[in-house]
Amino acid sequence: MYLYMQYYAMTKTETHKRMTHGNEIIDQIAHECLLMRVRKLDRVLTSIYDAELRPFGLKASQTNLLVLVAKAGPIRRIEIGKRLCLDPSTLTRNLKIMLTNGWIQEIEDGEDGRGLPVQITVQGRDLLNQIGPFWRKAQTRTEKFLGDDGATLLRKLAASRIELPSG
């Protein structure tokens, strides 16, 4: 029993050391990490847009895709992924929903058939026109949440640091 108690005390002390070792980096990440703040901000802003677009069965992420396809289409999936910095599985999942709903369509381009370009459909354009007032409401709410300086700074950062879709 005495040996067990010694072992337990030693294990408890060692566990405490291991659990408190590295607190400095944990504190630094918790208080300074830019990525954590950007991801939290992304979730908050996305929820504002998603709430306004929900009646249309559309998410903010799909709206971004649909607008890019409307502006740049016909466009290949790989190009969409590059322009929006999306991984292939996220892109495929969202495009599948949009194809199923008839908002975009694949078009033949005379190549091998893999990765056919997509373009917006009449239904997709109609949807964008319908969501306009709701998107504007989300935009206003977001600008109010960020404040004038925050909204301006976000636009400047995005324009200078991220290659935004052109078209």
pLDDT number for residue 42: 96
As a whole number, mean pLDDT of residues 6-22 equals 66
Indicate the average pLDDT of the chain: 88
Task: Provide the pLDDT for residue 114.
Answer: 63
**105 by DSSP, 3-state: which?**
strand
If you average pLDDT over residues 15-20, what whole number do you get? Answer: 65
Please give the single-letter amino acid code of residue 140: T
Pick from 49-63, 81-95, 134-148, 153-167: least confident: 153-167
Share of the chain above pLDDT 70, in %: 80
Please check the confidence at residue 167 and state whether its pLDDT lies above 80.
no
Q: What is the pLDDT of residues 49-84, one digit of tens each?
A: 999 999 999 999 999 999 999 999 899 999 999 999
d(CA 26, CA 77): 39
User: According to the model, what pLDDT value does residue 98 have?
Assistant: 97
Q: At what angle do helices 60-72 and 77-84 cross, to 10 degrees?
A: 120
Domains and CATH numbers, the chain: 33-161 (1.10.10.10)
pLDDT (0 to 100) of residue 28: 94
3-class DSSP state of 83: helix
How do the residues of the chain divide into helix, strand and coil, expressed in percent and rounded to 5? 75, 5, 20
25-50 average pLDDT score: 95
Q: What percent of the chain has pLDDT over 90?
A: 72
Residue closest to 98 by CA, chosen among 58, 51, 50, 56: 58
CB neighbour burial string for 133-145, b if at least 16 within 10 angstroms, e if fewer: ebbeebeeebeee
Tally of CB atoms within 10 A around 53 = 19
The per-residue pLDDT for 1 is 66
pLDDT at 162: 67
| pLDDT, tens digit (0-9, with 9 covering 90-100), for 111-121 | 665 679 999 99
Packed helices 60-72 and 122-161: angle between N→C axes, nearest 10 degrees? 100
Q: What pLDDT score does 20 carry?
A: 64
